[in-house]
Copies of this chain bind each other. A is one copy, B any other.
Amino acid sequence: MSRDLRGLLIPSAVAVIGASERAGSVGGEILRNLVRHGYQGTLYPVNPKYSQLEGLRCYRDVSELPETDMAVIAVPRGLVHGVVEQCGMCGIRNLVIITAGFKEAGSEGAAQERALESLAKRHHLNIVGPNCMGIINSAPGVSMNASFSRWFPTPGGVAFISQSGSLGETLLELFEQVQLGVSLFVNLGNRVGLTENDFLEYLSSSDEVRVIFLYLESFADPTVFRTWVEVVSQAKPVVVLKAGRTEAGAAAVASHTGSLASSDAVVDALLRQSGAVRVSTVDEALTALRVLGKQPPPRGARAVILTNAGGAGILAADACERAGLDVIPLDPDTQAELRAFLPAEASVGNPVDMIATAGADDYEQALQTVLPHTDLAIVIFRPPLVLDESSKAVADAILRMAAATPRVPIVACPMSWSDEAVLFSSHLSTRGIPSFITPESAVDAASFLVEAARRVPRPHPRQAITQRDDLAEMIGRASREHRCGLTFEEGATILGAYGIDVCRHSYVVDLEQARGFVARSQYPVVLKLDAPELFHRFEHGAVVPGIGEDRSLAAGFGALSSLAEREEFSGARILIQEMLKGRELILGMKRDPVFGPVLMFGIGGTLVEVLKDVAFGIAPITPDQAMRMIRSIRAFPLLEAFRGQAAVDLDRLADTLVRIGMLSLELPGIAEIEVNPIIADADRAAAVDILIRIDTCGTQGEKGESP
C-alpha cells in the first residue's frame, strides 16, 4: 500500500501535543525547535495546563484543534494511546510519537505498542515512532524541526533516515561540520507504523533528494527494502550504514550449509544485490555522502592521479589498489603529450607527478590530456610554498576541464587546511567537486562513485512453470506423510522441471536392473541408498562410488542391500547413477524467516568444510549477481582452466543458481536444498546428490542418525 507522506513531511499545520514551558520537557523543546528554526506553517501547542506557549495560543485538547496535518506527540506513555485515538477520530492522520517506554522497555511496553499498531491500522494513520527523536524538513519552504535535535541541518540533497535517534543527531552534527546539506531527517524509532521502506517509496519520486542515507540496526522487511532500493538506486544512490554485525547469532542461517553463514554475510548480499552502497563506518558515510549525487557516475574503475606532491601520489596509488581502482600507466602517446609541457623532473606514468612548480596551466593542460583516457580523476593540489598565482586559479582550471568533460568525475585533495587550500576547496565545492584532506579519503570517495555507478538490473519477475502445482502437491504429500525431506527422485523431478541438469540415475531392485542401467549408460557408476530422511549418505556408508566393472557392481549392490535391511534404513531404495568427472561444487538454499531464500555456493570438500569459503545470495538473483557470487569465493581460480582441466562453464553455473532461486520462491514448502555435489565442467553442471528438506520437521530425526 502506497502512503501519501506529504502531510507528514510538508505539513501546513502542526500540533505539538504535550508542549510545555517546563525546563527539560521534550515537548517544550520540540515546540521551541519549531519556532526557533522558523517553521513556515501554523503551530498549535496542545496542553491543558497552558493558555499560551511561545507566544502561541495553546489548545486544551486535540478536539479543539483547527485543521491539522500532523501532530507531534510528547505526552507521558500512559496518555499516548488516548491521544492517538483522539487524533484518529479528529482526522489527524500523520503522527510523530516521541514518547518512549514501549517495546524497548519490556513486555508491558510491547503490549502497549501492539495496541498502537491496531489503532494505526483502524484509523489509517501514518505513525513515526514511538520512542523517536522526531523528524526534520529543512527545505526553505518548510523549515520544520519537529524533533528535539539540537542540530537543524543546512538544506541540501541528502535525505537521512535513521533508526537511532542519538546517532542520528550525532551524524547531523558531523554532516554540518563537513558542510553536507540535509533536507530531510527522520528518526524511525520503534517503527510501529512507518518504516524505512515507506520513506524509500516516498523518496523514489522526489526530485530534490539526490542521495538517500539510511542508518539501520535491522530491516523492517528486507524483501520490500530490496524492491524499493532496486527502484530508487536506478535514479539516486542509496547509502546504508548497517550496524550490528556482532548480532551474528540472531539471524544466522543455520544447519549444515547455513552454519557457514553469518547474518552479516546475508545483509551484505541483500545490500549488494539491491544496488545499495554499503558503508561500514561513520567516516565512510561522510566520505560517500560528500561525493555521491555531486559527481557523475564513472563508466569504469580506471583512475588517473594528478599531483604536485610525489609522496601523496604514491599514497593515493596505494589506496587505489586497496579499493580496487585501476591505476593503469597512461599510454605512450598520452605520456608524450604530458612530457611536452611538463618539466623534465615530472613523472608522466600514473600517478602524474607534475612536481611542486605546477600551476593552473599545468593542471588545466594535464586534465585536458588525461580525462579522455580515464574513468575518473583524483587531483591532488597542495598549495606550494611560493605561489605565483592564487590557488583559486588552479581551482578554476579544474572546473573548466570538469565542464569540458562532464562525464568523468573528479575528486580533489588539497592536503592542507591553509587559507590557500581552503580557498581552493571551497571554490571547487561551489561547482560540486568535493575535496578531501588525505589522499586516501579522496580515493575512498572515488571508489564509492564506482560502487554507486554499478547499476543493478532488477531481477525478472518470476514466472511460474507449468508443472508448479504438481510439484507443490508432491511436496504437500510428503508433508502430509510427516516426512522431513524428499527422495532423490522427487528432488530430481523438481530440479529437472526448473531446467537444472541432473546426472543419469535409476532406482534398481536387483542386480539385473543395475546391469541394465550400465548397459544403457556405461561404467563408471555409483550406487547409493536413497530415503527421504537420509541426509548424510556418505557418513552412513550408503554410497559406493567409482564402480568400474561387473564384480565391483555386484559387491556394491550386495553391500547396500544388506545395509538397507537394517532398521534405520527401512524404506530405503538402491539408486544407480552415472559417475561424472569435473569440479565438485555445492549449491544450497536455506529459507530464512526474515530474508527469504538464502542461496549458497562453494567448492566441495575441505574448502567449504574447513575453510568456510562460501558466497551467499538472496533469491531472486540475476545471472550477473549469481556470477558475482561465484567469482567472490577465494577459491574461484579453481574454476578456471587449471592443471589440464578446462574452465568450468560459469554461465551455466550462474544460470543454475538463478534457477535454484526461482524454484525456492515458487515452492515455499521447501525449507532447504543442498545439491552436494553438483559436478561442473566445460559442458555440464549436473546435480549428483540432491537433499531437499521440507517444513514438516526440523533437522532432528534423520535416518541413520545416532540417538
Chain A residues close to B by CB (< 8 Å): 23-24, 29, 104-105, 148, 150, 163-164, 166-168, 170, 173-174, 177, 215, 217, 243-246, 280-283, 309-312, 314-315, 317-319, 321-322, 327, 344-345, 356, 382, 385-386, 415-418, 437-441, 606, 610-611, 634-635, 637-638, 642-643
B105 x A345 contact (CB < 8 A): yes
Q: Quote the shortest CB–CB distance from A619 to chain B (angstroms).
A: 27
Q: Quote the shortest CB–CB distance from A411 to chain B (angstroms).
A: 16
- With the chains together, A166 CA to B314 CA distance in Å? 12
A167 x B283 contact (CB < 8 A): no
Given A386-B24, A418-B173: A167 and B637 interface contact (C-beta under 8 Å): no
Given A104-B345, A177-B417: A315 and B637 interface contact (C-beta under 8 Å): no
Given A246-B327, A638-B606: A322 and B280 interface contact (C-beta under 8 Å): yes
B282 x A440 contact (CB < 8 A): yes
B345 x A166 contact (CB < 8 A): no
Closest B residue by C-beta to A150: B385
- With the chains together, A356 CA to B173 CA distance in Å? 17
Q: Quote the shortest CB–CB distance from A397 to chain B (angstroms).
A: 20
A315 x B385 contact (CB < 8 A): no
Closest B residue by C-beta to A241: B315
Choose among B167, B309, B438, B635 the residue that contacts A282 (Cβ–Cβ < 8 A).
B438
- With the chains together, A516 CA to B574 CA distance in Å? 49
- With the chains together, A298 CA to B440 CA distance in Å? 29
Given A164-B311, A246-B318, A309-B166: A385 and B29 interface contact (C-beta under 8 Å): yes
Closest B residue by C-beta to A164: B311
A440 x B281 contact (CB < 8 A): yes
A166 x B281 contact (CB < 8 A): no
- With the chains together, A173 CA to B416 CA distance in Å? 7
A441: chain B residues within 8 A (beta carbon): 283
- Which 3 A-B pairs rank lowest in CB-CB distance, beginning with the nearest? A167-B311, A164-B311, A166-B309
Q: Quote the shortest CB–CB distance from A309 to chain B (angstroms).
A: 4
B311 x A382 contact (CB < 8 A): no
A150: chain B residues within 8 A (beta carbon): 385, 418
Choose among B24, B310, B635 the residue that contacts A164 (Cβ–Cβ < 8 A).
B310
A317 x B246 contact (CB < 8 A): yes
A382: chain B residues within 8 A (beta carbon): 166, 170
A311: chain B residues within 8 A (beta carbon): 163-164, 166-168, 170, 215, 217, 243
A314 x B281 contact (CB < 8 A): no
Given A243-B318, A327-B246, A634-B611: A283 and B166 interface contact (C-beta under 8 Å): no
Q: List 30 A-B contacts (CB under 8 A).
A: A23-B386, A24-B386, A29-B385, A104-B345, A148-B385, A163-B311, A164-B311, A166-B309, A166-B310, A166-B311, A166-B382, A167-B309, A168-B311, A170-B312, A170-B415, A173-B416, A173-B418, A174-B437, A217-B311, A217-B314, A243-B311, A243-B314, A243-B315, A245-B317, A245-B318, A246-B314, A246-B327, A281-B315, A606-B642, A611-B638
A173 x B417 contact (CB < 8 A): yes
Q: Quote the shortest CB–CB distance from A394 to chain B (angstroms).
A: 16
- With the chains together, A317 CA to B344 CA distance in Å? 51
Q: Quote the shortest CB–CB distance from A631 to chain B (angstroms).
A: 14
